[in-house]
């Protein structure tokens, strides 16, 4: 397997990105230059990221989860089997509403549509609670990075018909994030959780913030509920949607 791509380098950090798995998952590794510590966000393959950190001569200390769908946590248990309790796992406690449990997690517990701060090494990031795709989905912003997970893709947003999803919460999250993103100053790179095709046929894995705000369909329709409800990517008629319907029926 190839090495990840270096998407961004500043005086404080390195940001590596790699597409892994059959679902076009995009994993993001942040390296703090001053401490030589690394944080992996939504690891799909634990061994892959451990080996890469070894090659880079950095210590993987943190795992941050934007949410807990299986393809975003697949590598977590493998990393703990390699590194043990030296790892810090961060996740929002609202993810427990969809059944996620972990003895390793330190839970973020701030309210929906609010922010808390998180650090590793010498770096500080803002963790925004952006529910809708899942109850406790978070978006990570800071140091030139906007890591959106499955809340927002480059041209669209995450589906809301899986267990724990909610289209109105997703719409509120998109409106909330739009205001935050429009207020950012300086150069920011938007890094989603999956690589999906844009309306022009391209399939980039990241975008400059200004371009992202112009082309994202979810951001450009969220203030109009009638347009929002017509978006084709909020729900799909597939096996995952059927499984979600069965899970909801069990709870009713």
User: Which pLDDT tens digit goes with each residue over 211-231?
Assistant: 999 999 999 999 999 999 999
Percent of the chain beyond pLDDT 70?
A: 97
CA atoms of 148 and 165, how far apart (whole Å): 16
**64 in Cβ contact with 139 (< 8 Å):** no
Q: Is 13 helix (H, G, I), strand (E, B) or coil?
A: strand
pLDDT given at position 236:
86
Beta strands in the chain (DSSP E): 5-9, 13-20, 25-32, 37-41, 59-64, 88-92, 105-108, 115-120, 123-129, 138-142, 145-149, 189-192, 207-208
Domain formed by 5-251, architecture: 4-Layer Sandwich (3.60)
pLDDT given at position 230:
96
- pLDDT exceeds 90 at position 184: yes
Neighbours of 224 (CB within 10 A): 11
Q: Where are the domains of the chain?
A: 5-251
Q: Is 18 helix (H, G, I), strand (E, B) or coil?
A: strand
Question: What is the average pLDDT across 86-99?
Answer: 97
CA atoms of 236 and 223, how far apart (whole Å): 22
């Amino acid at each position: 397997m190839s090495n990840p791509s270096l998407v961004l380098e500043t005086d404080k950090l390195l940001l590596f990105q790699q597409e892994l798995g059959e679902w076009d998952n995009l994993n993001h590794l942040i390296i703090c230059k001053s401490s030589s510590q690394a944080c992996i966000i939504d690891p799909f393959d634990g061994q892959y990221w451990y080996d890469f950190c070894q090659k880079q001569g950095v210590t993987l200390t943190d795992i941050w989860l934007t949410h807990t769908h299986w393809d975003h946590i697949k590598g977590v248990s493998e990393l703990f089997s390699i590194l043990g309790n030296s790892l810090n796992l961060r996740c929002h406690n609202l993810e427990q509403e969809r059944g996620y449990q972990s003895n390793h997690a330190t839970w973020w517990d701030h309210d929906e549509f609010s922010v808390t701060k998180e650090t590793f090494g010498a770096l500080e990031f803002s963790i925004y609670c952006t529910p809708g795709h899942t109850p406790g989905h978070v978006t990570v912003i800071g140091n030139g990075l906007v890591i959106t997970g499955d809340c927002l893709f480059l041209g669209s947003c995450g589906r809301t018909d899986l267990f724990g999803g909610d289209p109105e919460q997703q719409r509120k999250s998109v409106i909330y994030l739009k205001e935050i993103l429009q207020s950012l100053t300086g150069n920011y790179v938007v890094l989603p959780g999956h690589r999906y095709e844009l309306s022009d046929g391209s399939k980039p894995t990241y975008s400059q913030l200004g371009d992202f705000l112009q082309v994202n369909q979810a951001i450009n329709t969220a203030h109009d509920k009638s347009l929002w409800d017509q978006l084709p990517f909020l729900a799909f008629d597939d096996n995952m949607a059927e499984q979600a319907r069965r899970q909801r029926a069990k709870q009713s």
